Structure 1
Amino acid sequence: MSTIDPIDIFRIEAGELLEQVEQGLLDLEQRLDDREQIDAVFRGLHTLKGSGAMFGFDALAAFTHHCETAFDHVRKGHVPATLELVAAVLAARDHMRALVEHPNGDYARQEVALLDQLHAAIDIGARQISPPAQTETVAPLEDAGAPARHWRIRFALPPNSLLNGVNPLTFLDDLRELGACEIQVDASAVPPLDQLDPTALHLRWTVFLEADVCRSEIEDVFLFVMDDMTLEIDDMRGPASAEPPSATDAPPALVTPTEATTPEAKSATEANGVRARRAVESVRVPADRLDELMDRVGELVIAQSRLSQIAAAVANEELRAVSEEIENLSSELRATMMVLRMVPVGTLFERFRRLARDLQHETGKQIELVTEGESTEMDKTVIERLADPLVHIVRNSADHGLETPDERVAAGKPEVGRITLAARQSGGEVIISVSDDGRGINCERVRAKAEANGLVAPGQVLSEKEALQMIFQPGFSTAAQVTNLSGRGVGMDVVKKTIESLRGAIDVESWPGEGAEIALRIPLTLAIIDGLLVRVGAGRYVIPLAAVEECLELAPEQEARSRGRSLLSLRGSLVPFLRLREIFQTGSPPDPHQKVVVISTGAERVGLVVDQIIGDHQTVIKSMSKLHEDVETFSGATILGDGGVALILDIVNLVAAGQDQEARLRAIA
C-alpha cells in the first residue's frame, strides 16, 4: 500500500490556509475595524509560517514572518488596518502560493518589492495614529487578558511528532521571540537504550518566560498542534513565584487536560475537546483514491447488471432474490459514492471575490459581486474544470458588459455595476449562470463582426439566438482594442470547448441596455449517469436520461415524408427529428415500428429516431480511446450486462452533426 507524502499533505493544507487568509483579507477590506478578521488572518499566517518551517519550506516561513509581524502590530493596536496593508498582504499571499508550489525558485527581486510595499503600508498606518494615541497607555481589564510579566509554560508533544515532521525546537524559538526564556528539559520518560525508539519523542519541556504578552499570544505558538499535545500555561505573578526552580530540582509533573482545575484551563480543555471532535468528524482522503473507488463502484454496477440478466433468464427464485438484494446494495453504494464526490459550488464561487476586486482596479469600474446558490453541490471533477471557463465569462462581463460609472449614471443606473454568480439544480444537471446589469450584447455588432471574420455569409439571416452563439467561435471578439482582459478572441472559445467536454450546454440571453446572462448547463457527475438504452440497426446506444423528455412511435406518414421535411407535430408544435440510422450509416433497413426519443438541448427540442427503446440503464462512463477522441458525436462508452459495448451519445454535438447533414441533403434535393 502506497504511503502519502507528507510534503503533499502540507501543500494541500497550505493551499487551504492561503484561501482562508485571502477570504479574511477580502472581508477585512470591507470592514477595517473587524477584530475577528484581523485575528483570523494573523492565525492563518502564523500557522502557515510554523507549518512551513516544520516541513523544510524555510523561504516560505521567512517571508510569511514579515506579514505575520505586520498583522501582529495591527492586532496589538500599534498600527491600524488599512486598505494599503490589505493590498500588500494580498500581493504577498500570491507570492506565498508560489513559494509553496515552487520553493526553489529565484524570487529575490520580487520579494524585495513586496516587502517594500508591506513596509510602506505599515508606515502609512503608523502616520494615521496621532502622537497622543501612541504615548497614551490604558490599563486593560484583568479578565480581558491583561499582560503578565512572568509565565510558566509546560508542554509535551505526542510521541509520533517527529515522524509527522514536527520540530519541537521551533516552538522554543517562537517563545524566545516573545521574551527572555529559561528552558528546562524533562527526560524522565526516556526508556532504556535497548528499548529506545529513535523516531519517538519522549522529552517534555518547562519554559519560564518573562515578557509583556497575553495568554493568547503564548497559545498562538502552539496553535496548529494544540489538539494533540499537553499544554499548561501558568501566570506566575509576584517576585517570589517568578523565581524558577533550580536545575537540580525534580521536574514538575505536567498537568493533563483532564487534571486541569483552573477556569482558564477548563475552558482551554473544552475548546481543545471540541477541536479534537471536529478533527475526528472529517478525514482527508486523496482525490485519486476517490476516483479509484468510483471506478470499483462502476465495475460493481456492471457486474450487478449482468447478474440481473442471468437471474431473469434462469427460473431460480433464490438466484433472483440474491440478484435483487445485490442490486439494492449496489444502488445504495453508488448513491453514497456520489455524495462523497460532491462539493458545494460555494468553494468555487469564493475564488471570484478576489477576481472581482482585481477587475475593479484594472478596469476603473465599480463592481459588486453577488453569489447565489452556494450550497448547490456538484461532482468535484466538474467543479475543478469549471474554474477557468467562469473566469473568462466574469472577465468579459466586467470588460464588455458593465459600463463606466459615468455611463451608468447617464443611463439612470447606480454607479456600482453588479455581476451575479448563481447556481441551481434542475433535474440531473446544475445550471450556473453569470449575469450582469450592464449594456447587454449588441447583436447587430456581433453579426457584423461575424461577417467580417467570414463566419457567416454576407446578408445571411441569423436569429438572435444564433447571433449570440457566435461569441463562442474561435477568434471572435467585438473588442475595439486588445487589453489585458479581452480582445484576442480566445477566451469564450475555451469556454465552449470545456463545457462541451463536460457534456454540457451554454445558453445566452441579452437585454439591450439592461444586461446579459450566460448560463452553463452541466451534468451533476461525470462518472455514472442514468441513461436510456436504445437500438439503432445492430448497434446499441445510450441517451443521457436527463436530456430525455418523452418517447413516442413514429407515425407511418411521418416516415414517408421526404428527407428535407423531417418534422413531427407534437401537441400543436413542430419538432424536428433526426434519423440516427442515417447519421450512423448503419446500412440496414429500419424496423417496421420506429420510435422517436424527444430530447431537450437547452431552448429547443429535437427528436431522435431509433429502431427500439430497450429501457433505462445505469451507465458507467468509460472514456473513448485516443484513436476515437475526435469523434464528437459520442462522449464515451459503457459496458452492458451481457459484456457488449454501447456508445453514449453526446447530445449537443449529435444534433449539430444531424443539422449539418440535413442541410446537405436539402441542398442536394
Structure 2
Amino acid sequence: MSFPDPTETFRQEARELLEQLEQGLLDLEQNPANDDLINSTFRALHTIKGSGAMFGFTAVANFVHEFETAFDQVRKGQTVATPALIEVALDAKDHIHKLIEQPDTKLAGGDAILEALRAVIDGTNAPVEAAVAPAESAVIALDLDEPAVTETAAAAPSTWRIRFRLPSDALVYGTNPLLLLKEITDLGPCVVTALTDTIPNLETIDPEVPYLGWQIDLTMAEDPHAAIDDVFMFLRDGMELSIVPLTGAEPAAEPVAVAAPVVETAPTPVAAAPKPAKAAKAKPAPAPAAEAPSAPPVDAKAPAASSMRVDAERLDELMDRVGELVIAQARLTQIAASSSDGNLKTIAEELERLSSGLRDTTMGIRMVPIGTLFSRFRRLIHDLSRDLDKDIEFITTGEDTELDKTMIERLADPLVHLIRNSVDHGLESVEKRLAAGKTPKGTVRLSAVYAGAEVAISVSDDGAGLNAERIRAKAEENGIITPEQKLTDQELNHLIFAPGFSTAKEVTSLSGRGVGMDVVKRTIDGLRGSIDVTTKAGEGSTMTLRLPLTLAIIDGMLVRVGNGRFTIPLSAVEECVELPEGIDGKGRNFLDIRGALVPFLRLREVFNTTTPAEPHQKVVIVSSGEGRVGLVVDQIIGNNQTVIKQLSKLHSPIKSFSGATILGDGTVALILDTAHLVAHGQTYVDRNKSEGKAA
C-alpha cells in the first residue's frame, strides 16, 4: 500500500491557506477594522508557519514568522491595516507561495519584502501611538521582539493555573503536545506537571489517544487568556481548558501538588527556565473566587471530519467505471425487454435504479461551486486597478452555481482574458468617465446562473462598449473580412475572437498581441459551449459563456431520423408535439406554440436523409439560453442515460453534434448539439424580422 507524500499534502493544504490569506487581505482592505478578518488572516499565517516547520520548510517558517510578527501588531490594535500594508502583505503572500513550490531554489526578494513590511508598520505606528498616549495604562509596543511597555507602572507578576486536556483525536491529526507546552513556557516562568489520572491499563491503551492532561502554573504580569487562546486556537472547541488565578500563591519555583493519583511511571515535574513575558492583549481578569468554565467535552458520536481529500485522478477513474456500468445496464435492459423472463426484467429494473442513483452521486462528487473559481479573480482586479490606475468595483453573483470540476479547471484562463479585456479595453479612464457623466469608479460584474441544460457565465462592464466601426476597420485591415462583406451585429462582434485580432493601438503587458480572446474561443469550443456578445455604445459590454453542466453522463431522449438514431440532451427538451398536417416545408417554418412562434428544423433535411418520411412526424421543442427551436424527427424512441464520448478531431468541422454514445445493442448514436441547432433555427427568426421591416 502506497502512502501520499507528506510534503505534497502540506503543499495542497498550504495552497488553500494561501488562497484564504489572499481573500482575507483583500477583504481587509475594504473593511480594515473587522476583527474577524484580522484574526482569520493571522490564523492562516500561524498555521502555515507551524506546518512549514513540521514538514521541513524552514525558509517558509522563518519568513512567515517575520510576517506574522508584524501582522500581530494589527491584531493587537497597535497599527492599522492600511492599503499600503495590504499591498506589501500580498507581495509577501506571493513570496510564500514561491518558497513552498520551489523549496530547493534560492529566491531573492524576501528580505526586501520584510523590510518594506517593517517600514509600513513603523510608518503607521506613530499616529496610533499618539492616539492612545493619553489613555491610562495604554500598551505601546516599541519593538516587535521586545515586551510591551506601559505609561504607568507595570503590574506586579501574578500566578495563573492552567489545566488542559487535548481532544481525543488530536494525535491522529498531528498535534504535538510538546510544541504546545513550549509555546506556553515561552510566555513566562512556569511549572509544568503531567496529569496521569486517566491513563488506562497497558492492555487497553490506544496509542492514538492523548490520555495525559497537563497543569501549568504560569507567572506573568498580564492576563494570560488571550495568549493561551492563541496557543490552542485550532483545538479550543474540542478540548478541556481552565485558567484560574492563584491568589496569594507562591512564585512558581517549585512543583505544585496535583490532585491526581501518583503512579511509579509519572514524570517528574520540571520547572522551565524563566523567560521574559511576551505582550498579550489585555482582557478583564476573572473574579478571584470564580473558576473559568472549561470547554464542553467532544461528542463521541460526532463525525470526525466533514470532508476528505481525494485525488482528481481517482474521481475521473470512478466516473469512467460508472459510465461503463451505465452502458452495461442499458444492454441488460434491452435484453430484458425482449425476454419473457419476469425475474430478468425485475433485476434489470433494479439495476437501472441503482445505476441511476450511483450516476447522480458520482456526478454530485464532481460538481464544484463556481465561487471557488470566482474568488481567484479578486486579486486580478486588485492588481489591474493598481497597474492601470483605474478605480474598479468587482461584483460577483451566483457563486453557489455548480459546474463539473473539469470545466472549472479549464475555465480559469478564458475568464482571466475576458476580465482583463473588460478592464483594459472596456472601462475608460477616470477623466473620460467623468467627461461622459459616469461615476469615477468602473464596475466589472462576474455572474453565473443556470439556463436550462447549461450554465451561463457572464462578464460585464459599464465601460464604453465595443466600437463596431473600429472592429470592422481592423478586420478589413487584417484580411479577416472584405469591405463589401455584410455582417450582422452579432457576427461583427464575434470578430474579436479571431486569431491575431486586436484593436489595441500599442502592445502592452496586458494586451495588443491578439491572442487572449482567441484562447477564449478555442477553450469554450472545446467544452462544447458557446459565446454571446452584447454591447451598447457608451454603456458597456457583456460576454456570456454558455456551457453544458457536465462532460460525462447526461439523461438523453433517443429519437429516430430515417434509419439513424440520435440523442437529444433531455435537460434541453421543453416539450414534444406532433407536426400539424398540411405543412410541406415550403415557406416559413414556424409553429404556433401557445401563441408564440417557434421556428423548426427538419432533421431529415439537415442530415440529407433519403428514406421515406413517417406519416406522423414529431417535433421536439428544445431551448438554449433565450432561444427555442423545434426539431422534426420521425420517431421518439424514449429516454436513456447517455455516456458522452468525445468525437475525434476529424469530425470537429461538423457542428450539429457534440459527441456520441454507445447504445445497449452496441451501436453508436450521435448526440445533437442543441445550442448550435437553436442558433441555426434563430436565423429564420432574424430573416423573418428583416423581411417584415423591408415590407
| TM-score scaled by length of structure 1 | 0.82
Instruction: Name 1:447's counterpart in structure 2.
Output: 472
Are the structure 2 counterparts of residues 308 and 552 from structure 1 closer, same or farther at C-alpha, using a change threshold of 3 Å? same
1:121 aligns with: 120
Q: Which runs of 5+ in 2 are unaligned?
A: 140-154, 270-288, 683-695
Kindly indicate whether residue 243 of structure 2 is the aligned counterpart of residue 220 of structure 1. no
Distance 1:42 1:148, change over 3 A: farther
Amino acid of the structure 2 residue aligned with 1:219: D
Deviation at 1:467, TM superposition (A): 0.7
Paired residue secondary structure (1:269): coil
Kept in 1, the 8 Å contact 2:395–2:445? The answer is: yes
1:250-649 → structure 2 map (5 Å cutoff): 264-266=292-294, 268-269=295-296, 277=302, 280-535=305-560, 539-548=564-573, 568-571=589-592, 575=599, 577=601, 589=611, 591=613, 599-600=622-623, 612-624=635-647, 634-649=657-672
CA distance in 2, matches of 1:629, 1:178: 68
Residues in 2 aligned to 1:58 and 1:193: alpha-carbon distance in whole angstroms: 38
- Are the aligned partners of 1:343 and 1:380 in contact in 2 as well (CA < 8 Å)? yes
Q: Counterpart of 1:170?
A: 179
Measured after TM superposition, the shift of residue 89 of structure 1 is 1.3
Structure 2 CA distance, aligned partners of 1:169 and 1:630? 65
Shift of 1:415: 1.2
Residues 333, 191 of structure 1: alpha-carbon distance in 2 compared, 3 angstrom cutoff = closer
Distance 1:462 1:5 in 2: 57
User: Retained in 2: the 8 A contact 1:343–1:378?
Assistant: yes
Q: Which amino acid aligns with 2:591?
A: L
The answer (yes or no) to whether the contact 2:193–2:268 under 8 Å persists in 1 is no
> Comparing 223-232 with 444-453, which one deviates more in the overlay?
223-232
Compute the displacement of 1:457 (Å): 1.6
1:196–1:314 CA distance, 2 compared to 1 (3 A): closer
Farther off after superposition, 504-513 or 608-617: 608-617
Q: Do the aligned residues in 2 keep the contact of 1:54 with 1:167 (CA within 8 Å)?
A: no
Preserved CA contact (<8 Å) 2:618 2:635: yes
Shift of 1:463: 0.6
SS at match of 2:481: coil
Q: CA 1:653/1:569 → structure 2, altered by over 3 Å: closer, same or farther? A: closer
The 1:436–1:493 alpha-carbon spacing in structure 2 relative to 1, beyond 3 Å, is same
Higher mean C-alpha displacement, 623-632 vs 633-642? 623-632
Say if 2:24 is the partner of 1:15. Answer: no
Separation (CA, whole Å) in 2 of partners of 1:473 and 1:68: 48
Could you list the per-position Cα deviations for residues 260-309 of structure 1 after superposition, in whole angstroms to 9, with x for gaps in the alignment? x976333x337x669x9585444444444433333343333323322322
Aligned counterparts of 2:515 and 2:582: Cα–Cα separation in 1: 47
Rounded to whole Å, the distance in 2 between the matches of 1:335 and 1:298 is: 12
Please tell me whether the aligned partners of residues 598 and 629 of structure 2 are also in contact (alpha carbons under 8 angstroms): no
**Equivalent residue, structure 2, for 1:138:** 137
Separation of aligned partners in 2, 1:159 and 1:549: 55
Tell me which moved more, 66-75 or 345-354.
345-354
| Distance in 1, Cα, partners of 2:28 & 2:106 | 31
Identify if the C-alpha distance between structure 1 residues 148 and 173 changes in structure 2 by more than 3 Å, giving closer, same or farther: same
SS of alignment partner, residue 37 of structure 1: helix
Q: What is the rounded CA distance, in whole Å, between the counterparts of 1:453 and 1:657 in structure 2?
A: 28
Cα RMSD (Å): 4.2
Q: Residue type matched to 2:234 in 1? A: F
For 1:421-441, what per-residue CA distance to the aligned partner results, in whole angstroms no more than 9, with x for missing partners?
Answer: 122212222211111111111
Q: Once structures 1 and 2 are overlaid, which stretch shifts more, 219-228 or 410-419?
A: 219-228
**3-state secondary structure, aligned to 1:178:** coil
| Superposition deviation, residue 597 in structure 1 | 5.4
Over 3 Å counting, the alpha-carbon distance change for 1:422 and 1:457 in structure 2 is same
**Is residue 50–residue 170 contact of structure 1 (8 Å, CA) maintained in 2?**
no
Q: Render the CA deviation track for 1:86-116: whole Å, top value 9, x for unaligned.
A: 2111221122223333333322x22122112
- AA aligned to 2:187 is L
The aligned residue for residue 85 of structure 1 is 85
Secondary structure at the aligned position of 2:296 is classed as helix
Query: Which piece of structure 1 moves more, 300-309 or 152-161?
Result: 152-161
Q: Is 1:150 aligned to residue 173 of structure 2?
A: no
Alignment check: 8 A CA contact 1:505 1:602 kept? no
Q: Distance in 2 between matches of 1:80 and 1:102?
A: 32
How far 1:418 moved relative to its partner? 1.1
Q: Residues 409 and 263 (structure 1 numbering): CA distance in 2 closer, same or farther, change over 3 Å?
A: farther
> Which one has the bigger helix percentage?
1
Larger CA deviation: 198-207 vs 433-442? 198-207
Which residue pairs with 1:665 in the alignment? none
Within 1, Cα distance between the matches of 2:514 and 2:353? 50
| Structure 1 residues 632 and 93: alpha-carbon distance in aligned structure 2, compared to 1, 3 A threshold | farther
Confirm or deny: 8 A CA contact 1:215 1:233 kept in the other structure.
yes
Once the two structures are TM-superposed, the CA of residue 227 in structure 1 deviates from its matched residue by: 5.5
Counterpart residue type for residue 265 of structure 1:
P
Higher mean C-alpha deviation, range 299-308 or range 1-10 = 1-10
Cα offset for 1:629?
7.6
CA distance in 2, matches of 1:157, 1:618: 50
Label 1:632 to 1:54 Cα distance change in 2 as closer, same or farther (>3 A): farther
Once the two structures are superposed, residues 141-171 of structure 1 have per-residue CA deviations (whole angstroms, 9 ceiling, x without a partner) of xxxxx99743444455578866754444433
Cα offset for 1:64? 1.3
Paired position in structure 1 for 2:255:
245
Q: Is the contact between residue 578 and residue 606 of structure 1 (CA under 8 Å) also seen in structure 2?
A: no
Bigger mean CA offset, 241-250 vs 425-434: 241-250
Distance in 1 of aligned mates of 2:118 and 2:138? 29
Distance 2:60 2:223 in 1: 26
Distance 2:33 2:422 in 1: 32
Q: 1:574 to 1:17 in 2, by over 3 A?
A: closer
After superposing the two structures, state which structure 1 stretch, 115-124 or 373-382, moved more: 373-382
Q: 1:236·1:242 contact (CA, 8 Å) conserved in 2?
A: no
Contact 1:208 1:244 (C-alpha < 8 Å) held by counterparts: no
For 2:192 and 2:137, how far apart are their aligned partners in 1? 32
- Once the two structures are overlaid, the 10-residue window that deviates more, 617-626 or 510-519, is 617-626
In the alignment, the residues of structure 2 paired with residue 477 and residue 460 of structure 1 have an alpha-carbon distance, to the nearest angstrom, of 20
Unaligned runs of 5+ in 1: 141-145, 255-260, 660-669
Q: What whole-Å deviation, never above 9, does each CA across 1:595-633 have from its counterpart, x for those lacking one?
A: 665655556666666665433222122345688788776
How far did 1:460 drift? 0.8
How far the C-alpha of 1:495 sits from its partner, in A, is 1.4
Q: Report if the CA contact (8 A) 2:600-2:681 is conserved.
A: no
- Distance, in Å, in 2 between the alignment partners of 1:455 and 1:392 is 22
Match of 1:421, SS state, is strand
